[in-house]
Amino acid sequence: MSINSKIWLSSPHMGGGERKYVEEAFDTNWIAPLGPNVTGFEEDLKKYLNEDIYVAALSSGTAAIHLGLILLGVGPGDEVICQSLTFSATANPIVYLGATPVFVDSEKETWNMSPELLEVCIKDRIAKGKKPKVIIPVHLYGMPAKMDEIMEIAAKYSIPIFEDAAEALGSKLNGQMCGTFGIKACLSFNGNKIITTSGGGAMIAKHKSSSDKAVFLATQARDNAQHYQHSEIGYNYRMSNIVAGIGRGQMEVLDLHIKNRRSNFFYYKSKLDQIEEISFLEEPLGYYSNRWLTCILIKPNIEITRESVRIALANENIESRPLWKPMHLQPVFKDSPFYSDGTSEMLFEDGLCLPSGSNLTKSDLDRVIKVIRKVMS
Ligand SMILES: *Cc1c(COP(=O)(O)O)cnc(C)c1O
């Protein structure tokens, strides 16, 4: 490989029996949004996460959030509480349903939804006359949110939790898998996630009736009749059997991917932690992150900012990316209420995601480290 070959932020990494499952689908002509790979992938996920949950494989993580919110009864005029520091896909489905997102800021320990501000928000929305319908915390970059505290507050006000675990497959909090805390949750298998099916997602539910209903809605809501009859509005959100074949192969290497991504984090940290302006997102006691992306904070000074580091990397053909721009700063959500203490804005200003793929080599990582050390010196 040439010295200047592109280093990506997070690229697909095949390595299990993906081709075998996809070929099986061809050989048996299961080229449809159902089939043995779809059922098998759902079983694999269930086995991996927790035997007591149910999984519906869908066309995307966004579809999973959309269907999950429908099943939780979100409709026009409702309010849904959403972590502000996240990817827009967390918030968009709220708007699809004619509801309003209400954004809550992050805390500094996990970069996820602040339990304190969540409670401030709930009290204020109730005082203003409307109890929020659902709370959506996110496990950003693989770091679990403070679920114990968030669940306690949610229970106190009887508001269900939809957990966005799109970036956190394999992450754990006190031994419990992310995606199994909320009444419902989503996973994503998009191209740059920790495992990918090219595009895809899943809705996780605590009850079988709920995942059955998700599959029903995802396949055009056909009533049980020979003729095509519909009593509800349906969607075309089911995962295809080809895509699910890739997923089954990827499940065989998921733990290896997590191991590699975690060692990326530890390697970056060992080489960059000495630089005073750079800090890392640490795991609090009991937290286990899949380290989907390794992110650093760069304390700005007159010469160096997050942007100058990003540009220096880009000049060396290395892709890095600012943290997600918080939703409350997005033009499209400018009218949504927001409960803030400035944390997500600070994280956005100073935060940078480093190349984190499970297929990076030590010399790739060394190239990244060398550029950062050079800018910082
Ligand atoms: C990727 C992602 C999603 C959406 O998943 P898709 O499969 O791309 O639709 C939702 N939330 C977060 C936090 C994500 O990173």
Question: Which residue has a Cα nearest atom 14 of ligand 1?
Answer: 166
CATH of domain 254-376: 3.90.1150.10
Q: How far is CA 49 from the centre of its chain?
A: 15
For a mutational test of ligand 1's pocket, the pick from 59, 85, 178, 188, i.e. the residue with the most ligand atoms closer than 8 A to its C-beta, is 188
pLDDT > 90: percent of the chain: 96
Q: 355: helix, coil or strand?
A: coil
Q: How far apart are CA 31 and CA 24, in angstroms?
A: 10
Q: From ligand 1's centre to the CA of 166, what distance in Å?
A: 5
Delimit the domains of the chain by residue range. Answer: 18-251, 254-376
Q: How far apart are CA 369 and CA 377, in angstroms?
A: 12
The 201-205 sheet, strands edge to edge:
54-58, 201-205, 184-188, 162-164
For a mutational test of ligand 1's pocket, the pick from 167, 194, 324, 327, i.e. the residue with the most ligand atoms closer than 8 A to its C-beta, is 167
Q: CA 344, 109, 179: angle at the middle one, nearest 5?
A: 90
Q: From ligand 1's centre to the CA of 70, what distance in Å?
A: 18
Q: How many Å is the Cα radius of gyration of the chain?
A: 21
38 pLDDT higher than 80? yes
Bridge partner residues of 309 (DSSP): none
CATH 3.40.50.12500 is held by the domain 18-251 = no
Pocket residues for ligand 1 (CB within 6 Å)? Answer: 60-62, 86-87, 89-90, 138, 164, 166-167, 188, 190, 201
* E runs forming strands in the chain: 54-58, 79-83, 100-104, 134-136, 162-164, 172-173, 176-177, 184-188, 201-205, 278-280, 287-288, 294-298, 321-322, 338-339, 351-354
- Looking at residue 4, the DSSP 8-state letter turns out to be T
For residue range 271-297, list pLDDT tens digits in order. Answer: 999 999 999 999 999 999 999 999 999
Q: How far apart are CA 302 and CA 324, in angstroms?
A: 24
For residue range 117-168, list pLDDT tens digits in order. Answer: 999 999 999 999 999 999 999 999 999 999 999 999 999 999 999 999 999 9
Q: From ligand 1's centre to the CA of 62, what distance in Å?
A: 6
Contact 261, 289 (CB under 8 A): no
pLDDT at 302: 86
Q: What is the pTM of this model?
A: 0.97
Task: Report helix angle 362-376 to 254-272, nearest 10.
Answer: 30
For a mutational test of ligand 1's pocket, the pick from 106, 164, 194, 246, i.e. the residue with the most ligand atoms closer than 8 A to its C-beta, is 164
Q: How far apart are CA 5 and CA 1, in angstroms?
A: 7
